[in-house]
Structure 1
Amino acid sequence: MSHQARYMLVSLPTSISPTNDRDEAFTALQSTVSSDFGTVSPFSIPEFKIGTLDALVQQADELAKLDAACEGVIGKVGDSLRSILGGDESKLNQQKRVAEKPVDQYLRSFIWNKVKYRADKPIAELIDALQKEISSIDNDVRSKYNQYNQVKTNLVALQRKQTGNLSTRSLAQLVDPSVMIQGSEYLETHLVAVPSQAVKDFYKSYETVSSMVVPRSCISITSDDEYTLFAVTTFKKYSQEFIHNCRERRWTPRDYTYREGGREEELREVDRLSREERKLWGETLRLGHTGWSEAVMVWAHVLVLRVFVETVLRYGLPLSFVCGLIKTSPKFAKKTKDALDASYSYLGGNAFGRDKKGRVKRDDSAVSEMAAVGHGDGGEYNAFVFYEFEIN
């Protein structure tokens, strides 16, 4: 079997057994799924308050939407965890636990949380509570993840300024204030990063780049592998012309104003952001771990309600059914479903028949009618209550 598990929740009426017995019905379900394809475990479904038929049909629709929302939130939280763990799948798998259990163990030992979701409450109230909870999980994790990303982005930008080339890096650590004309009413010093291959041309032409460049004012401040940083003085009236014409020649004017203590302030800011980034990384990881666990638990409860509501709609009252959790793999999922169809397609009435070779075939017109009144999963009608899902 593939390392990636695929799960199926199946609800069947106890009438599949000759004696209408729950244990016999579950044994029949187990015998339907080959041990080569998957394993079947009992799955506990409480009895809930059953309202009107119209209410059940509406709740089936609401639960289908909530099911998709839960799956989406689990995926987003998982992506957040993957991002902050640098894509390390082994570390990611350590974080993806439900109530501190492996996912498979949680599902196989699932018990409805009667403290958080009292089964004696109307189904509509339970749906509302689950909707609010999955929305809260989504908002909390997304907010913290965005906060972490913002600080990380700011830190990376600041670190890049410390280590980039002279066209982008911070100049606070490089420029001696003595090269800058400060407080003059008429003159202004400009810093220009010139590509290494253009340095000779710069020396020859900087005085004529614009009007009123102070002759011989060029000072070479520092160089790296790609650029040389120069200081040039112009009359303020022609500063914009000088800056514009530098850009035209693909020299990079650098916007810089000397501030006393600016070097130390930059270093302190890098240190502050580094500490904040580490702190938020830990908080985001913990919240992602908790959020993923709680989102899976909400989803499991939503699936339970889906099974229950669909079971009532499909099999009617009085309720007498068994529910099983099938664990299989993407490779064997179709064979598992085919085995279930072969054994229980008769529950679909006119919607399913058999061809001359005894193989199950669908009556598309009857299937369309059944799907239209809500007896289906995402528009696909099955002869019995059936939900297939993966938790990634």
Structure 2
Amino acid sequence: MATRYWAVSLPVAQGSSASALWNRLQESISKNAFDTPLYRFNIPNLRVGTLDLLLALSDDLLKSNNFIEGVSHKIRRQIEDLERVSGVMSSSLTVDGVPVDSYLTRFVWDEAKYPTMSPLREIVDGIHVQIAKIEDDLKVRIAEYSNVRSQLNAINRKQAGSLAVRDLSNLVKPQDIITSEHLTTLLAVVPKYSQKDWLSSYEGLTSYVVPRSSKKLHEDNEYALYTVTLFNRDADNFRTKARERNFQIRDFEYNPETQETRKQELEKLTQDQETLKSSLLQWCYTSYGEVLCLCVCARALSIKVFSSWMHFCAVRVFTESILRYGLPPSFLSVVLSPSVKSEKKVRSILEGLCDNLNSTYWKIEEDGGGMGGFAGDADSHPYVSFTINLV
């Protein structure tokens, strides 16, 4: 599947026809750039309006295009991120059962959704408003998902960190803790290389430590977790003495209700994250087609929403063609997908098929600082041209 296309319109010379120009273009491409797929881009005669309106619309088309493309990239990146996290394998992508590139190359204007008698400004603004709503919805959905994911990540970091910082609740059992009127159990985090030192010295750190009360509960790559039982009144003094020996006493209070609450919170956040992730991914699949029908990161999209961007591109070609070639509309619009090595050859073919007067005028305007190329394109040509990237 080709991933990059040129949308091009060529002026039809007086006394000729679009069909005749199409035949000449097909013949030239097949002889000189046979590896370049070529298709008609069927654009109906739209409502032109006044020259001032067309000029104003031309200026806005570039800004609207940049906005729509920016939103589309956001959604595409979101789809890729969510699929990677979810382990989803991308399947064949279609639009109403048709491959995405085929939908582009067989484009048909939707008269029911975009009546050709509607002002061009109305069509463009309608698409822009639609995409702006999608962007707002995207921000809300991402914020909801990110908030839950951040909470869950914070909990998981506590669970996965070293014993010096991690949550100890899932490592300590009720029988490990002694709590009475006079006795208490502390949890000591001991560097792995200092375990012998701990076992030989903890009983003598203060005067009221219960002999042989220390038991190892857990060990990671850096530390070991030990219990030690002593008199309540000696706890603060023991913490101080332990710190002096590079033993960390972790604050911990075993509470079954708190443990259960934390467990339920973790389960709920995990479930909420999966629900929001699935919902966001499904929304992106659907909305991506509405934002950018010329990309292939949404599957099983509705043709109604997918066509929005295609119609926007058609309006761009039509508007710039009228401004370039004048009235009445007389131009041939096509899409082609040249390889990198064939680009110069295809450009030469296209330029050679332009009306001689138009080409001469164009070069004069270009050399004299005239209008230049199609709005938003870096290259200048004697015909309307811009690039469409499917991915």
Scaled to the shorter chain, the TM-score interval is 0.7 to 0.9
- Alpha-carbon distance between aligned partners in 1 of 2:385 and 2:84, rounded to the nearest angstrom: 37
Change beyond 3 A, Cα 1:97–1:254 = farther
Task: Indicate the residue corresponding to 2:24 in structure 1.
Answer: 28
- State the shift of 1:301 in Å: 1.7
SS across alignment from 2:349: helix
Task: Indicate the residue corresponding to 2:10 in structure 1.
Answer: 12
Letter in 1 for 2:382: A
Task: Indicate the residue corresponding to 2:220 in structure 1.
Answer: 225
Letter in 2 for 1:51: G
The alignment status of 1:41 with 2:39, answered yes or no, reads yes
Change beyond 3 A, Cα 1:333–1:375 = closer
CA contact (8 A) 1:33 1:336 kept: yes
SS across alignment from 1:20: coil
- State the shift of 1:191 in Å: 3.6
- Pick aligned residue for 2:308 from 298, 311, 328: 298
- State the shift of 1:42 in Å: 1.4
- State the shift of 1:148 in Å: 3.2
CA deviation map 1:146-167 (0-9, x unaligned): 4334434444544454555433
CA deviation map 1:179-231 (0-9, x unaligned): 668798x998754422211334456777999xx99656984451223221235
- Greater mean deviation of Cα atoms: 344-353 or 311-320: 344-353
Q: How many residues align?
A: 371
The alignment status of 1:124 with 2:134, answered yes or no, reads no
Letter in 1 for 2:37: T
CA deviation map 1:333-353 (0-9, x unaligned): 443233323443843334438
The alignment status of 1:318 with 2:328, answered yes or no, reads yes
Task: Indicate the residue corresponding to 2:134 in structure 1.
Answer: 137
SS across alignment from 2:226: strand
Change beyond 3 A, Cα 1:156–1:54 = same
- State the shift of 1:10 in Å: 1.1
- Greater mean deviation of Cα atoms: 316-325 or 326-335: 326-335
SS across alignment from 2:6: strand
Letter in 2 for 1:148: Y
Normalised by the length of structure 1, the TM-score is 0.78
CA deviation map 1:50-90 (0-9, x unaligned): 23322212211211111122222222222111111118999
- Alpha-carbon distance between aligned partners in 1 of 2:326 and 2:194, rounded to the nearest angstrom: 84
Normalised by the length of structure 2, the TM-score is 0.78
- Alpha-carbon distance between aligned partners in 2 of 1:240 and 1:138, rounded to the nearest angstrom: 59
SS across alignment from 1:286: helix
Letter in 2 for 1:274: T
- Alpha-carbon distance between aligned partners in 1 of 2:207 and 2:103, rounded to the nearest angstrom: 75
Task: Indicate the residue corresponding to 1:285 in structure 2.
Answer: 281
Aligned-pair RMSD on alpha carbons?
3.9
SS across alignment from 1:370: coil
- Alpha-carbon distance between aligned partners in 2 of 1:338 and 1:240, rounded to the nearest angstrom: 88
- Pick aligned residue for 2:359 from 348, 367, 370: 348
Structure 1's unaligned 5+ residue stretches are 354-362
- Alpha-carbon distance between aligned partners in 2 of 1:47 and 1:55, rounded to the nearest angstrom: 16
Report percent identity of matched pairs: 28
- Alpha-carbon distance between aligned partners in 1 of 2:251 and 2:344, rounded to the nearest angstrom: 64
Change beyond 3 A, Cα 1:342–1:37 = farther
- Pick aligned residue for 1:66 from 59, 64, 67: 64
Letter in 2 for 1:382: H
Task: Indicate the residue corresponding to 1:358 in structure 2.
Answer: none
CA deviation map 1:129-180 (0-9, x unaligned): 1111122223333433443344344445444545554334432222245666
The alignment status of 1:51 with 2:33, answered yes or no, reads no
CA contact (8 A) 2:11 2:355 kept: no
Change beyond 3 A, Cα 1:90–1:320 = farther
Letter in 2 for 1:52: T
Letter in 1 for 2:367: S
- State the shift of 1:313 in Å: 0.6
- Alpha-carbon distance between aligned partners in 1 of 2:19 and 2:241, rounded to the nearest angstrom: 85
Change beyond 3 A, Cα 1:220–1:311 = same
SS across alignment from 1:311: helix
Task: Indicate the residue corresponding to 2:371 in structure 1.
Answer: 370
- Alpha-carbon distance between aligned partners in 1 of 2:81 and 2:166, rounded to the nearest angstrom: 27
- Alpha-carbon distance between aligned partners in 2 of 1:315 and 1:340, rounded to the nearest angstrom: 15
- Greater mean deviation of Cα atoms: 321-330 or 216-225: 216-225
- Greater mean deviation of Cα atoms: 173-182 or 72-81: 173-182
